[in-house]
Amino acid sequence: MPRQTRHRGFRPLARHRVAVALVAALASAVPAATRRIADRCFQTTAWSLSERPRLTTSASEAPFPAVSSGGRFFVGRSAGCPSPSLRGIPNNNNNNNLLTQKRRNGRGSLRELRWRSLSAVGFFPVLGPDTPGILFAALLAGISGLAALLAKGYGAVLLFLILLQRKLLFTPPPEFADPSATGGEVILLPVGSTQLTRAAVYFAPRSPQAPVLVFFHGNGDQLGWSAAYLGQRMRDEFGTGFLGIEYPGYGLAEGTPSEASFYEASEQMLRHLAQERGLQSSQVVLLGHSVGGGVATEMALRGLGSRLILVSPFLSIPEMACELYPFVAPVLKVAPFLIRDRFDNAAKAASLKLPVLIVHGTDDDIVPFSQGQLLSEKVKGSKLVAVRGVGHNDVFDHDIILDEIAAFARA
């Protein structure tokens, strides 16, 4: 379907009148201080028909016509432009001096310095030799007002993103999916004397010495989806064990989602299984997808795994924020502390001392492939597998990726 283009037809108005109308509309939101500056630039003079003799203008008497609006004559005037003559009074310098003297004496409301916007009925600035200067002053005022509006809008959007950043980052599915639907064992772990509960789904390996993949899903996932699917396939097809750990606030796990709570819940569950099931850290292969890659990387730094697999990883949440919302980049460069949950994989990359596999689809429309590529360059000795034609949420639907994961886990 061809792209539609905007119709460019205007009514046959003078171009300068259209320009005046546009800049006057823009300037309608100018702050009071800028409005006073514009007043001095415009020097618009108004005579009340009820208080002063009727004004007459003609091509020979005035350089431009007067415009009537609401019972008043508005005459644009600036330095060097003769004023229209009063009936019976010649248009000369003495007349101008007389008008100036009356203004100084304050007799009547001879002069009103009021800059009116397009909202005034029937008002357009008077056209004449000084029209370019008037347009320029109006344009400056309009740009100032527009800049003020844009600044306020930018600040409002930025405040919205900062205050609701966790709502945007952590998005638990509204419907619950049973993690045990594919044959996994659901593990519920109470947290001390609190009412919180940790949750996980476990698929035992075929042999006690087989590796166990410990899986951390993405921010919009849950155990009953990807973990239940992957656990069954990895156990049945490759004989490896599989443990999916749930995040606080997701599925069966209670609590509030945050970077710190994710780390705490994951470490508690791993240490619990090491004590209760005899799970050794040498058997543990940490596997993280998207946000889960940040959790897996932290668990690796804490010595809770022997290998690390990152699928569709990002450099950090600030980098992702700049990718998704480019207009916040200047603020985050100056004030990175505004991001509460950073999941800074790039900063931790140099400290990783275990084998690392990074798998990333080249068609990832959420986390750019370039971020996974840059992260692999930061992790010394890591292996990057670029899968062509694969996106973000379909990454585990391809057998070639599961083959890579199984081979790396058994190596």
**Strand pairing report for 212-216 and 284-289:** parallel
Q: Is the dihedral angle over the CA atoms 236, 361, 352, 294 positive or is it negative?
A: negative
Order across the sheet with 44-48: list the strands. 44-48, 72-76, 67-69
> Hey, how many other C-beta atoms are within 10 angstroms of the C-beta on 203?
24
Which of 365, 211, 375, 364 has the alpha carbon at shortest distance from 293?
A: 375
pTM over 0.75: no
> How far is Cα of residue 108 from the mean position of the Cα atoms in its chain?
55
Q: Is the dihedral angle over the CA atoms 293, 295, 298, 300 positive or is it negative?
A: negative
Mind listing the domains of the chain with CATH numbers?
15-148 (no CATH), 172-410 (3.40.50.1820)
**CA–CA dist 265, 271 (Å, integer):** 10
Which of 191, 189, 198, 233 has the alpha carbon at shortest distance from 213?
A: 233
Let me know if 302 is exposed, middle or buried by CB neighbors in 10 A (0-12, 13-18, 19+).
Answer: middle
Whether 292 contacts 329, CB under 8 Å: no
Tell me the C-alpha to C-alpha distance, in Å, between residue 100 and each of 37, 62, 96.
Answer: 22, 18, 6
Residues 6+ apart with CB under 8 A from 50: 71
> How far is Cα of residue 314 from the mean position of the Cα atoms in its chain?
17
How would you write the pLDDT of the chain (411 residues) with one tens digit per residue? 333 333 333 333 333 443 444 444 444 444 454 555 445 444 443 333 334 444 444 444 444 444 444 444 344 444 444 444 444 344 444 444 444 444 444 444 444 444 344 434 344 444 455 666 677 777 888 888 888 888 888 788 888 888 889 999 999 999 999 999 999 999 999 887 777 899 999 999 999 889 999 999 999 999 999 999 999 999 999 999 999 999 999 999 999 999 999 999 999 999 998 998 888 889 999 999 999 999 999 999 999 999 999 999 999 999 999 988 888 888 888 888 899 999 999 999 999 999 999 999 999 999 999 999 999 999 999 999 999 999 999 999 999 999 999 999 998
Task: Provide the b/e sequence for 19-31 (b: ≥16 CB within 10 Å).
Answer: ebeebbebbebbe
Residues 6+ apart with CB under 8 A from 67: 73, 74, 122, 123, 124, 126
**Strand pairing report for 44-48 and 72-76:** antiparallel
Q: At 172, which amino acid appears?
A: P
